[in-house]
Structure 1
Amino acid sequence: MKKPGYKWIALSCTTIGALFSVLSASTLMIALPVIMKDLNSGIGIIMWTIMGYMFSLTILVPSIGRIADMFGRKKLYVSGFALFTAASLFCALSSNGVQLLIFRMIQSIGASFMIANSTAIIADAFPKGELGKALGVNSMVVSVAAVIGPILGGFLINFGWRNIFYINIPIGIIGTIWAAVSLKEMKETSNHEKFDFRGTFTFTFGLFSLLLALTIGGFTQWLSKSVIILFSIAILLISSFTYIENHTKYPMLDMRLLKTRLLAFAYASTLLNGIARGAVTFLLIFYFEGDKGIDPIAAGIFLSPFAIAMMAMSPISGWVCDKYGARILSSAGLLVSGLGLIGFMKISTTSSMSTLIICMVITGIGSGMFFSPNTSAIMANVPADKRGIAAGVRTMFNNAGMVLSIAISMAIISSSISPAAMQALFVHSHVSSASIASTQFISGLRMAFTISFFFSLFAAFISYLRGPAPKWNSQSAN
């Protein structure tokens, strides 16, 4: 039984979690060049502190979403909060790049517990007609964290980059206690169901092999022996997973989520938008701090227009979605994001900040128009007992897109500039070939943004093709 006002308590708990995880990521992103220099680590290790985190989320979240559907969301959410907080302490104490990467991966496990459950908790607490508004508020807070994070990160770097992780600890303690005390289980757990170990195993390792093949291929050669072997393993395991899920009474992933037209195209547009937008902030940070030599605080301020625009648009788009639906709004948002990416396709060392800010605002508005309605369309059109896995699959596709986006972008840039020159450029080393490295880096940036633009257009087309609301049988709907 939902108590009056509980929906806002649930939203506050999940919003703190969203603020926590995004703030951690955005503060870290701005500090990457500084961390690279301080820990004397290669760009590969430092880049994987971001990519590996998303990589892990992509693989873990769907399975955790299924476990939450079976055994409840609160315990997993609170446990994730606590684990993320503890891992932040160890990240702060890291003495080299490898240690930092390991503890970031542990952080990602905690984040998986939170992310797999937060959207489902909101969907459980809010009626269908208010879900878009609730998710819009949640997205707005995420945008606030994206605004504050780079600026806060730039400020904290003055006192040492480790403070970026230390600041997580008090937030994490407060959020963990608040969630433990306030959240309620809003649905009966399905303890009579059996967990699909075979499906989970084949899915986890199949997706792991696929993403690893794509990222290694992007940085080395697509026809290398290791890439071919990984692709072969991925095809075998994912094929096995599909067969298992279609012949299992209690599957990890209800395949109807992918066979239903509305959900399939909403998920596909999420993946394509992740590929289009995932590397934008990552690339701009290295552009501002590496190519332009701007200090971290200023770089954080210059990145804020994107998040501010998204913050302003998210609650508006959520409200509009509740009244008029998600199809047109989400598709239009992807087209607007594409307009912003057109401006980035012409980026140069001499690009004016006013031009870049306009491009960031346009891209941010488009993102705000897409995310809340698209997520609302997914969560409003699945039964209550499928919300955990539905949210997990959405996160999986979004993070998979972001991993691929960074891998593709870095592969393009790596093909146009030597690793040594790129490292020197990013840590502000004054080498004789600096101007040449800068020219090559800008050329790679333009190509990366061009590819992002075309993926955004494709995402808009796919989003528009989504069909009517699915009809679930009464057993699933209960």
Structure 2
Amino acid sequence: MKNENYKWIALSCTTMGALLSVLSGSTLIVALPDIMKELNAGMGILTWILMGYMLVLTILVPSIGRVADMFGRKKLYVGGFALFTIASLFCAWSNNGIQLLIFRLIQGIGGALLVANSTAIIADAFPKNELGKALGINLMFISVGSVIGTILGGFLVSIGWRSIFYMNLPVGIIGTLWAAFQLREVYSYTEKQKFDWFGTLTFTLGMFSFLMALTIGSFSGWFSIEVIAMFVIAVVAMIVFVLIENSTIQPMLDLQLFKARVLAFAFASNLFNGIARGAITFLMIFYFQGIKGDDPMTAGILLTPMALSMFLISPISGILSDKYDSRFLSSLGLMISAIGLFGLMWISDDTPTILLLIWMFIMGLGSGLFFSPNSNSIMGAVPPNKRGIASGVRTMFNNAGNVLSIAISMAIVTSSVSPEAMQGLFFGTQVGSQGIVVDSFIGGLRLAFGISFGFSILASILSYMRGPAPKWKNTPYEKPA
């Protein structure tokens, strides 16, 4: 009975952390125009306030996952909760854009500590035949955060943008204390492990350079010397990283994960799904504000069908993945997402809003059907001592796909939008099509949705190609507590 109670306690801790992270991001988007005005911050700073968190998260989660596999998850998770909460307070106290950016990046470190350990904590606490259900419930609450985030953000902005960060404090304090007193280490770890510093440094340099090149290139052009140099550094660093990992006894990233077919194809489908859906929110916000003339609050509400359908299907798909083949469920989910994206490919300036909501609902339905079974497949295929790194790699690929998706989409649509209009659309200060070449903009949207459709189909094929779970050798680095 003790273990039966603990698994739900562990799920409540991870759900609270996921909800805090998602709410913080979705409410912040609504507040950017007010932040821009009060702090007199330029578009460059605000872009990094928005994107920097995702970049930090993507870069750090694999390394943190490895540390958690070495020394345990509880301290890192509790520390992440506390750091995120403290950083939120300093974000609220920021007097200029640079300060807010710095504290937002620190928030990203806290978020990485939460995200890297969340799925692994759930996998440690739940038996394998209930893992999908637990992951589905967790994703359901993340969807709730996405639904209410923009609405709550609109309300809080009316009080003042700093209230968005103050809102994190009570949730963060309660979550930190709850996790500190209730979480426990399910496994004990020996002290004979070594951290792979050289592998971690080269990996961080490679990922940082790659993501920076994508982000800067999408806004400033792909052929500048800085962007090309960062791509070159990324390639060289990742080659060196692979060489280091293949010659290290205790690597930061166990490349055996990618030699297991079920994991390699599950990770790949996660990446391509991220590319397929990562920019949808941005593109539809641009469309609703710039073409339909909706205000930012209304545009945010119109995006809720995507999160609502994920909310409805996630726990169901998780339960199904405990009983049936995750490969089939994940692949079907990606095909359903592709149907929604196919519908969006025919978007025009006079497409009925209700039709767009239907396509977005279908796309969210497919995403909800994909995520829980795919995560269940990954976490169920690795032993306990590799759950942290497996969870980190899964998150890294998903976030990297999102960044790549935004970079591709921004590169496509920016040619039809003036810099002033792009800034206005990006930060919610423009409503209407002034500064937008409507026909070219619609053509860019269709192309972006077409590319997303192609990646969703590719992700579905790769998802179905995964094989049986690998058999891992027993490791001397971990034993049951």
TM over 0.5: yes
1:328-380 Cα deviation digits (max 9, x unpaired): 11011111111111222233343322112101110110000000000010000
Look up the match of 1:101. Answer: 101
Query: Hey, what's the Cα distance between the residues in 2 that align with 1:159 and 1:289?
Result: 23
Query: Hey, what's the Cα distance between the residues in 2 that align with 1:438 and 1:97?
Result: 32
Cα contact 2:418–2:435 (8 A) shared by 1: no
- Which AA in structure 1 matches 2:374? N
Cα contact 1:291–1:425 (8 A) shared by 2: no
Look up the match of 2:328. Answer: 328
1:207 aligns with 2:207: yes
Query: Hey, what's the Cα distance between the residues in 1 that align with 2:117 and 2:202?
Result: 22
The 1:348/1:139 distance shift into structure 2, 3 A limit, reads same
After TM superposition, give the deviation of residue 125 of structure 1 in Å. 0.4
Cα contact 2:156–2:164 (8 A) shared by 1: yes
After TM superposition, give the deviation of residue 39 of structure 1 in Å. 4.0
The 1:33/1:460 distance shift into structure 2, 3 A limit, reads farther
Unmatched runs of 5 consecutive residues or more in structure 2: none
After TM superposition, give the deviation of residue 230 of structure 1 in Å. 1.7
Query: Hey, what's the Cα distance between the residues in 2 that align with 1:453 and 1:341?
Result: 5
1:62-108 Cα deviation digits (max 9, x unpaired): 00111111111000000100111111122223333333222211110
Cα contact 2:421–2:430 (8 A) shared by 1: no
Cα contact 1:422–1:437 (8 A) shared by 2: no
1:261-282 Cα deviation digits (max 9, x unpaired): 1000000111111111111112
1:140-175 Cα deviation digits (max 9, x unpaired): 111111111111112222222222211111111111
Query: Hey, what's the Cα distance between the residues in 2 that align with 1:421 and 1:322?
Result: 48
Look up the match of 1:434. Answer: 434
Query: Hey, what's the Cα distance between the residues in 1 that align with 2:419 and 2:335?
Result: 34
Query: Hey, what's the Cα distance between the residues in 1 that align with 2:293 and 2:34?
Result: 12
- Which AA in structure 2 matches 1:408? I
Q: What is the correspondence of 1:376-415 to structure 2 with a 5 Å cutoff?
A: 376-415=376-415
Query: Hey, what's the Cα distance between the residues in 2 that align with 1:438 and 1:31?
Result: 27
Look up the match of 1:298. Answer: 298
Provide the alpha-carbon RMSD of the alignment: 2.1
After TM superposition, give the deviation of residue 408 of structure 1 in Å. 1.4
1:126 aligns with 2:111: no
Look up the match of 2:183. Answer: 183
After TM superposition, give the deviation of residue 430 of structure 1 in Å. 8.3
SS at match of 2:192: coil
Worse-superposed segment, 306-315 or 23-32: 23-32
Query: Hey, what's the Cα distance between the residues in 2 that align with 1:62 and 1:25?
Result: 21
Look up the match of 1:138. Answer: 138
Query: Hey, what's the Cα distance between the residues in 1 that align with 2:465 and 2:37?
Result: 47
The 1:339/1:240 distance shift into structure 2, 3 A limit, reads same
1:196 aligns with 2:193: no
Q: What is the correspondence of 1:51-450 to structure 2 with a 5 Å cutoff?
A: 51-425=51-425, 427-428=428-429, 434=434, 436-450=436-450
- Which AA in structure 2 matches 1:54? M
**TM-score, structure 2 as length reference:** 0.94
- Which AA in structure 2 matches 1:88? S
Unmatched runs of 5 consecutive residues or more in structure 1: none
Query: Hey, what's the Cα distance between the residues in 2 that align with 1:462 and 1:98?
Result: 42
Count of residues paired in the alignment: 477
The 1:387/1:132 distance shift into structure 2, 3 A limit, reads same
Query: Hey, what's the Cα distance between the residues in 1 that align with 2:150 and 2:431?
Result: 25
The 1:30/1:455 distance shift into structure 2, 3 A limit, reads farther
Query: Hey, what's the Cα distance between the residues in 2 that align with 1:355 and 1:184?
Result: 48
The 1:435/1:244 distance shift into structure 2, 3 A limit, reads closer
Cα contact 2:269–2:463 (8 A) shared by 1: yes
- Which AA in structure 2 matches 1:158? S
Cα contact 2:137–2:315 (8 A) shared by 1: yes
After TM superposition, give the deviation of residue 428 of structure 1 in Å. 4.3
Look up the match of 1:465. Answer: 465
**TM-score, structure 1 as length reference:** 0.95
SS at match of 1:188: strand
Cα contact 1:150–1:303 (8 A) shared by 2: no
SS at match of 1:333: helix
- Which AA in structure 2 matches 1:342? F
Identity of aligned residues (%): 63
Worse-superposed segment, 415-424 or 101-110: 415-424
Worse-superposed segment, 153-162 or 264-273: 153-162
The 1:424/1:318 distance shift into structure 2, 3 A limit, reads closer
Cα contact 1:309–1:361 (8 A) shared by 2: yes
Query: Hey, what's the Cα distance between the residues in 1 that align with 2:375 and 2:381?
Result: 10
After TM superposition, give the deviation of residue 437 of structure 1 in Å. 4.4
